[in-house]
Structure 1
Amino acid sequence: MAILLGIDTGGTFTDAVLYDEASGVVAKAKSLTTHHDLAIGVGGAVGAVIEASAIAPGVIALVSLSTTLATNAMVEGQGGRVGLVYIGFDAADAERPDLKAALNGDPVILVGGGHDAMGQPRMPLDAETLAAEARRLAPGLTGFAVTGRFAVLDPSHEIAARDILRRETGLPVTCGHELSARLDGPKRALTCVLNARLIHLLEMLIAATEGRLAALGIQAPLMVVRGDGSLVSAEVAKARPIETIFSGPAASAVGGAFLAGTQEALVSDIGGTTTDVVVLRQGRPRIDPAGALIGGFRTMVEAIAIRTCGLGGDSEVTLEQHGLEASLKLGPRRAIPLSLLAASHGDLVHATLERQLGADMPNDLHGRFALSLNPPLAEVPALEAELLGRLAQGPQPADRLIANRRELNALQRLVNRRLAIMASLTPSDAAHVLGLHAAWDRDAAAKGALLFSRRRNAMGLPFAATPDILARRIIEVLTRRSAEFLLECALAEDGFQEAGLSRHVLAAAALDGHEGLVRIGLSLTTPVVGLGASAATYYGAIAALVGAPALVPEHAEVANAVGAVVGGVHVSAELRILQPVEGVFRVLARSGTRDFGDLGAALAHAEETARAQAHADALEAGAASVEIAVTVDEKKAVTEGREIFVEALVTARASGRPRIGR
């Protein structure tokens, strides 16, 4: 059987798994994710897993990658500058708030053309204006997005515009009909713009990854995980990078279901920065019918229905004052654990923590370090630039870097813009203090916990008596908040959408195990599949709080990388049948429009065409063999006692395992 390589780039670690189709996981490895160049971390993880397995690189038959690149780029507003070619729309359509925000000042080319609601041309495509504007704008752009009015019914104007743009500029072009078959031109344009902006980023990642794989002697085909958990070839992913939104969580859900051997569950993946929860139905993640919501934009991309909480092993631990009392707060901001920073900068971390432990009074900046993260893409104010210059020399103790409130605010702005990151006490450090983790520097974690425990509440008393007591309280807070989040997700799935229900006084009493005259209880009806490097540490207690079995499968810490290779290719093709006039049934397909005088003949042609289109798309996406299922959704209306055909949607869904190299 074939040897497959799965890779996942997470917020803290890049994971790699070698998987034998006959015997399962052969070897696994982790490398720190290199955010400035994800391919470096990929190369480190792949090199480590090959060394651990003693398998010859040339034996690997398939590589599959799940990546956070598209998600992070959209959240952080990264990407290229694109031009939107808007065919058959007017200037007011380009002023829709969501679309205008997505464009963020990028140019719009309004072009005559487009189709009507029956798929008929409204007017010819204004090719001359398009060519002239494309030549004028191209020097300042990285690509184009093309969206035509009712192009999902007839994409011919989008296709013609794409050909003109490629001929005149040589830049990448995304067409809206390639991303979604759903109506709503402005939302399709928004999705198209975001996709076009990401193309060069994913192209660079894939090229760099392929280069590092080749340098290691791996020549296998490369697949990429989409946001619905399915796989596509690297070439298709480069053209439609927006479809890799939620790639990592989708891979985790698929891998978790596979490893746990369950069909129904809440899959909860605790990472460094966030906890992601996905509902598993019949062995597959549930898809969000409204389209992926990311970076504040509701797109038309099919992706898993995921709920995310800013709570993870690397969540920053801070104190919140409530009158005379103080309480622990975890996240939502990620910090580098002190134990991890000490693993690479031990002398600096230990010398700083010991100096601060010798101080007479605790300071909020004690136990905190600042590091540069990403180079600025634009000019920053003078004070921020000065701080970045000092951080360029390496990690800096916060109490030595910051001299006043202005500098503290400037550092905060750098952190908010992801130009800098803090290292401080985290749940991962607490786990090291208690001996639950042992990957990094326990002594640094203990010193950081001792410094934090000395902080004072409003009454002037130390927050915790010992580092161990503090560490246990941190773990308890993480466990409780995780349980509340699982309940929140389950309640929302059952239709209870009101925010904060899991923290209602009765829900809190249930989690506390209250039993008086009234026994209060809340429990899940499905298991909790716990994933992530720290899942075994926490999920027994978390699941117990919500009254559910905990399934922490073997290899849970690399379930995302397993999901990258055990998934399959899944694509669909949708065709519409309309009745423009009574007795005429119009089949609207990517290959063209065709009219029939009989509904049965139109349905037969639509099914045949949809099958052929889905089969071709599945092969292009990298499937080895294809199975196809067709569904027909007819809509009819009753008028004056007569049943009238309105439309039919014919959907062909194609599935198959990916092609392998040997």
Structure 2
Amino acid sequence: MRLGLGIDTGGTYTDSVILDLDTKEIISRSKALTTHDDLLKGIVDSIDGLRSHENIQLVSLSTTLATNSVVEGKGCRVGLLTIGKRIVPDLDVSSIGFVDGEFDMRGNIVTELDEMSATNLLNDMKGKVDSIAICGYLSVRYPEHENRLKGLASEILDVPVVCAHDLTSKLGFKERLNTAVMNASLIPEIIGLISSVKDALVEFDIDAPLMIVKGDGSVMSSDVAMERPIDTIMSGPASSLTGAMNVPGVTDAMVIDIGGTTTDIGMIQNGFVHTLDEGASICGHRTRVHAADICTYGLGGDTGMELVDKRIVFSGRRSIPYCVASSRWPSIHDRIMERRMVSIDDCIFFIHSNGKGPLSLNELKGEMGLSDASLGAMESSGSLIRISLTPTDILAAEGRYGRYDSTASTVMVELIASFNSMTADELIHLAKGSVKGRLLQCIYDYTYHSDDEPMEVFGRVGQAERYKKADITTIIGVGAPSGSWLPDVVDAIGYDLIIPDDFDVRNAVGAICSRVTEYVEIIIRAAPNDFSPDPQCRVYASDDSFYFNGKDEAIEFAKSEGIRIATQKAKASGANEIEIMMKIEEHNIDDKFHGECLFRGADIIVKAFGDPSFGSK
């Protein structure tokens, strides 16, 4: 029996499962609260809750680290060198330098690389940066200048160096610039997390390869992840899609993952995760990151809810449910059970990050004199942790969720209702209708994508009417709250709903069931002045380009080179028994004068995939 350990760090919980990799049977499962200030602690707590840690041959982790770092504007100090164009990225960098050096579209050197200027710029960055990003104009076709500067940077600075052409083969200077900077900013953090996870596995006597889930739902070795952390953007949501793909008999479906913090919506089509070919937009920054077509919405089991004029308003911010807080802090439990609240502002509590508290909203405003703006800033920084009404409390008060102190939720629902001249049943009915309506909005937004009021936090490049065009009539629900909220929602739109077994840990199942997948794009372009039926061609592959006297010879070389490079990348990412898929997109023009179709180029996309290599146990 081959056993694998899948770990998913969600916004609220870190889930772990031990899976029989042959039968896909869950042998053991565990949930622990995610510790945002130290992700490793939540991972260790989750692994510790498993019945056994023996005979594990593979470990796979989906992590929110990269996504959270981008969303929160964190990351290390990045030094940036751009070559050929004086363009600045959308993201902050600590140091930036512009270096002369340029190729034209045919690969001729227009301006020689100014290595002396680059050397001076790099020397000026000593002690000021933790990593270097290098992006040159047309470097996806002609990477020579980027590679030369990488060698210089490695000699002068003892920090990781990232070249844009190593991350994507697609054109788009600004998008590649953002991608390189983002990747460089994440390297130290992902190295720290992976090193810590490996240390934790040693503590549990787990000697197995460690894989990391990528944003397209596939996995890569931890060594590759430390070089390309940007590929882990959307890692967690992508795991829900691969977890849903393991539902027998379903090849096309919309997948809705309702977690504690967010609702993530994506699609599987023809048994594969639907991805963004043009690259994901992350927090408004266009990139060339290959990721699943997922939208993330600020609605989850722990989303804060307020009652304003007998209308539910969602804060979009995570709040600790009363039932959870009452179980964790005796002082909260005592306040709730003794019903000390005399106004609605007494029903919102705060715990300081140093553990002090609780204090009610009234106490913070009255005794401490804090304004709404100050409170908001302290919450955003993590100094204050809010405890308030959430969808989880509504389920607990209704008797449908009993994991924590459901009595606390019942009491608080009664009090909040009374302060608003309502009964508890009326508040529960109103809240349930509001959650249902919000989920329907999310589905509609994902399906048809309105530019007028975009609801998502990040992760979309407007692909309108995906749902309608795909003719999908099935929704798969995963995530702990999905079984409670989705049946009524899906009934309202008339589609089939599947809530799979172990839906509350499907992300962790998806992490350990994912395959290694690598893509390579080889570009063929006909000679600009050769309009013959069989033109001379240039093939752009990896760090080099090659000339051929005819298109057939060029295509055959491009196919074999694409297979070689993709296979090499898949092996480096930890794949075993690699399979190949290939797509050829020719570019032709009509010669109306001669009545011929003339070849002008082709894009050859090679996909290499396989199961991860297992440990020796």
TM-score, with normalisation over the residues of structure 1? Answer: 0.86
Aligned to 1:71: 67
Q: Give the direction of change, closer, same or farther, for the CA distance of 1:615–1:525 in structure 2 (3 Å limit).
A: closer
Residues 183-205 of structure 1 show CA distances to partners (whole Å, capped at 9, x for unaligned) of: 11121011111111111111111
Q: SS at 1:273's partner residue?
A: coil
Q: How far apart are the structure 2 equivalents of 1:260 and 1:269?
A: 18
Aligned pairs for 1:516-527 within 5 A: 526-527=473-474
Aligned to 2:587: 635
| Aligned-partner residue type, residue 574 of structure 2 | G
1:15 aligns to 2:20 (yes or no) = no
1:647 aligns to 2:597 (yes or no) = no
Aligned to 1:393: 356
Aligned to 1:507: none
Which stretch shows the higher mean deviation, 335-344 or 535-544?
Answer: 535-544
| Aligned-partner residue type, residue 25 of structure 1 | I
Aligned pairs for 1:214-229 within 5 A: 214-229=202-217
> Offset of 1:127 from its aligned partner?
2.2
1:366 aligns to 2:366 (yes or no) = no
Q: How far apart are the structure 2 equivalents of 1:35 and 1:260?
A: 34
Residues 577-628 of structure 1 show CA distances to partners (whole Å, capped at 9, x for unaligned) of: 2224424311112242221112211111111111111110110111012111
Aligned to 1:511: none
Q: How far apart are the structure 1 equivalents of 2:332 and 2:172?
A: 55
1:351 aligns to 2:334 (yes or no) = yes
| Aligned-partner residue type, residue 256 of structure 2 | S
Q: SS at 1:454's partner residue?
A: helix
Q: Give the direction of change, closer, same or farther, for the CA distance of 1:127–1:479 in structure 2 (3 Å limit).
A: same
1:333 aligns to 2:317 (yes or no) = yes
Among the aligned pairs, what percent are the same residue?
Answer: 31
Residues 550-594 of structure 1 show CA distances to partners (whole Å, capped at 9, x for unaligned) of: 110001001100110111111111111222442431111224222
| Aligned-partner residue type, residue 585 of structure 1 | C
1:415 aligns to 2:379 (yes or no) = yes
Aligned to 2:466: none
| Aligned-partner residue type, residue 487 of structure 2 | G
Aligned to 1:34: 35
CA contact (8 A) 1:607 1:650 kept: yes
Q: Give the direction of change, closer, same or farther, for the CA distance of 1:119–1:418 in structure 2 (3 Å limit).
A: farther
Residues 499-553 of structure 1 show CA distances to partners (whole Å, capped at 9, x for unaligned) of: 599xxxxxxxxxxxxxxxxxxxxxx951111111122222222211111121100
Q: How far apart are the structure 2 equivalents of 1:277 and 1:117?
A: 40
CA contact (8 A) 1:116 1:149 kept: no
Determine which of 489, 492, 495 is the counterpart of 2:446: 489
Which stretch shows the higher mean deviation, 597-606 or 644-653?
Answer: 644-653
> Offset of 1:128 from its aligned partner?
2.3
| Aligned-partner residue type, residue 625 of structure 1 | E
Aligned pairs for 1:191-590 within 5 A: 191-259=179-247, 261-321=249-309, 326-346=310-330, 348-354=331-337, 357-358=339-340, 362-373=342-353, 393-403=356-366, 406-456=370-420, 462=421, 464-465=422-423, 467-492=424-449, 526-578=473-525, 579-582=527-530, 583-590=535-542
Q: How far apart are the structure 1 equivalents of 2:591 and 2:382?
A: 59
CA contact (8 A) 1:9 1:248 kept: yes
CA contact (8 A) 1:349 1:444 kept: no
Q: Give the direction of change, closer, same or farther, for the CA distance of 1:615–1:351 in structure 2 (3 Å limit).
A: same
Aligned to 2:572: 620
Q: SS at 2:442's partner residue?
A: helix
TM-score, with normalisation over the residues of structure 2? Answer: 0.92
Question: Which structure 1 residue ranges, 5 or more long, are not aligned?
Answer: 374-390, 457-461, 502-523
> Offset of 1:633 from its aligned partner?
1.6
Aligned to 1:656: 610
Determine which of 64, 71, 80 is the counterpart of 1:84: 80
CA contact (8 A) 1:271 1:532 kept: yes
Q: How far apart are the structure 1 equivalents of 2:274 and 2:242?
A: 11
> Offset of 1:3 from its aligned partner?
0.4
CA contact (8 A) 1:352 1:397 kept: no
> Offset of 1:264 from its aligned partner?
1.1
Q: How far apart are the structure 1 equivalents of 2:108 and 2:454?
A: 50
CA contact (8 A) 2:3 2:57 kept: yes
CA contact (8 A) 1:260 1:552 kept: no
Q: SS at 2:147's partner residue?
A: helix
Q: How far apart are the structure 2 equivalents of 1:2 and 1:581?
A: 58
CA contact (8 A) 1:577 1:647 kept: yes
> Offset of 1:398 from its aligned partner?
2.8
Q: Give the direction of change, closer, same or farther, for the CA distance of 1:617–1:639 in structure 2 (3 Å limit).
A: same
| Aligned-partner residue type, residue 615 of structure 2 | G
Q: How far apart are the structure 1 equivalents of 2:452 and 2:536?
A: 48
Q: How far apart are the structure 2 equivalents of 1:118 and 1:352?
A: 74
CA contact (8 A) 1:330 1:478 kept: no
Q: How far apart are the structure 2 equivalents of 1:352 and 1:488?
A: 41
Q: How far apart are the structure 2 equivalents of 1:285 and 1:419?
A: 38
CA contact (8 A) 2:75 2:185 kept: yes
Q: How far apart are the structure 1 equivalents of 2:324 and 2:111?
A: 63
CA contact (8 A) 2:10 2:63 kept: yes
Q: Give the direction of change, closer, same or farther, for the CA distance of 1:261–1:64 in structure 2 (3 Å limit).
A: farther
Q: How far apart are the structure 2 equivalents of 1:586 and 1:657?
A: 34
Aligned to 1:605: 557
| Aligned-partner residue type, residue 434 of structure 2 | V
Q: Give the direction of change, closer, same or farther, for the CA distance of 1:79–1:358 in structure 2 (3 Å limit).
A: closer
Question: Which structure 2 residue ranges, 5 or more long, are not aligned?
Answer: 456-470
CA contact (8 A) 1:278 1:304 kept: yes
Q: How far apart are the structure 1 equivalents of 2:494 and 2:266?
A: 18
Q: SS at 2:126's partner residue?
A: helix
CA contact (8 A) 1:260 1:529 kept: no
Q: How far apart are the structure 2 equivalents of 1:260 and 1:369?
A: 45
Q: How far apart are the structure 2 equivalents of 1:405 and 1:279?
A: 48
Which stretch shows the higher mean deviation, 214-223 or 419-428?
Answer: 419-428
Q: Give the direction of change, closer, same or farther, for the CA distance of 1:636–1:525 in structure 2 (3 Å limit).
A: closer
Residues 158-213 of structure 1 show CA distances to partners (whole Å, capped at 9, x for unaligned) of: 12211211111110111101111111112101111111111111111111111111
Q: How far apart are the structure 2 equivalents of 1:123 and 1:400?
A: 66
Q: Give the direction of change, closer, same or farther, for the CA distance of 1:597–1:554 in structure 2 (3 Å limit).
A: same
> Offset of 1:394 from its aligned partner?
4.4
Q: SS at 2:296's partner residue?
A: strand
Q: How far apart are the structure 1 equivalents of 2:447 and 2:587?
A: 33
Residues 324-355 of structure 1 show CA distances to partners (whole Å, capped at 9, x for unaligned) of: xx211233121011111111102x11332356
Aligned to 2:153: 165
> Offset of 1:122 from its aligned partner?
2.9
Q: Give the direction of change, closer, same or farther, for the CA distance of 1:349–1:261 in structure 2 (3 Å limit).
A: farther
| Aligned-partner residue type, residue 254 of structure 1 | T
Q: Give the direction of change, closer, same or farther, for the CA distance of 1:394–1:205 in structure 2 (3 Å limit).
A: farther
| Aligned-partner residue type, residue 408 of structure 1 | D
> Offset of 1:417 from its aligned partner?
3.8
Residues 277-297 of structure 1 show CA distances to partners (whole Å, capped at 9, x for unaligned) of: 112211222112332122221
Q: Give the direction of change, closer, same or farther, for the CA distance of 1:243–1:372 in structure 2 (3 Å limit).
A: farther
Q: SS at 1:80's partner residue?
A: coil
| Aligned-partner residue type, residue 343 of structure 2 | N
CA contact (8 A) 1:366 1:451 kept: no
CA contact (8 A) 1:67 1:247 kept: yes
CA contact (8 A) 1:487 1:546 kept: no
Aligned pairs for 1:124-135 within 5 A: 124-135=112-123
Q: SS at 1:343's partner residue?
A: helix
Residues 388-420 of structure 1 show CA distances to partners (whole Å, capped at 9, x for unaligned) of: xxx553443333233176433311222234443
Q: How far apart are the structure 2 equivalents of 1:392 and 1:114?
A: 56
| Aligned-partner residue type, residue 414 of structure 2 | L
Aligned-residue CA RMSD in angstroms? 2.1
Q: How many residues align?
A: 592
| Aligned-partner residue type, residue 369 of structure 1 | F
CA contact (8 A) 2:364 2:370 kept: no
